[in-house]
Chains A and B, each alone.
Chain A
Amino acid sequence: QKEVEQNSGPLSVPEGAIASLNCTYSDRGSQSFFWYRQYSGKSPELIMFIYSNGDKEDGRFTAQLNKASQYVSLLIRDSQPSDSATYLCAVNPGGGNKLTFGTGTQLKVEL
């Protein structure tokens, strides 16, 4: 079982819709969770992090964490063509262990 799993996509949504990206992780003791956006040919950039169960909102982005289900998601409201990118989920198990990335979900926002 992979440590961090994401559907590779592509996930296609129309402009203005809500995009929902999902991630599951295997280490129940994981403490911090991150979402990165990576445009083609560029390096990943951190867009959200979450530590506690529940929702965390930042502009059009909402991260959701459910530790009991070992599930973290990213919602993008009012999706724009500029949101088209690959979204990487990352998990830090804590205790000095390494940050672990999922393989990413490609999002396409269509006009």
Chain B
Amino acid sequence: DGGITQSPKYLFRKEGQNVTLSCEQNLNHDAMYWYRQDPGQGLRLIYYSQIVNDFQKGDIAEGYSVSREKKESFPLTVTSAQKNPTAFYLCASEPGTGGVGAFFGQGTRLTVV
């Protein structure tokens, strides 16, 4: 089945630790995105990538890092520099033409304890 998979679904982290969220897609999509969503809020763009080995900062990139070594994978690292990392993280992908919309994974809920 084609789709976009995020793991884990729930993640707990101690303050001061880095953590990596996984996002894998088998839709052959060129573009991939990471968003953060806080309770009752909209989506805020962290990073996006439109091609392998290239990515751009979104609106709230500070404290986060990404890589795009393979078309299928776009992992997000939440570093200790991110002061308030507890949130719902959503990964999405869309074809390079951008004409059919983006498809989301199920999300990862990160809690700092």
Contacts and interface: CB of A to CB of B under 8 A. Distances in A.
B101 A94 contact: no
B99 A101 contact: no
Interface string A88-100: 1010101010111
Interface residues of A, number: 24
B98 interface: yes
A108 B19 CA distance: 36
A99 B94 contact: yes
A39 B92 CA distance: 17
Contacts, number: 61
Given A99-B33, A101-B43, A43 B99 contact: no
Contacts of A103: 41-43
A34 interface: yes
Interface string A73-105: 000000000000000101010101011111110
B104 interface: yes
Most A Cβ at <10 Å: residue of B41, B43, B88, B96: B43
Nearest to B56: A98
B48 interface: yes
B55 to A, nearest CB: 11
Nearest to B88: A41
Contacts of B102: 34, 46, 90, 99
Nearest to A33: B101
B105 interface: yes
Interface in A22-78: 31-32, 34, 36, 41-46, 49, 51
A71 B48 CA distance: 26
Nearest to A97: B98
Interface of A: 31-32, 34, 36, 41-46, 49, 51, 88, 90, 92, 94, 96, 98-104
6 contacts: A41-B88, A90-B102, A92-B98, A92-B99, A99-B31, A101-B45
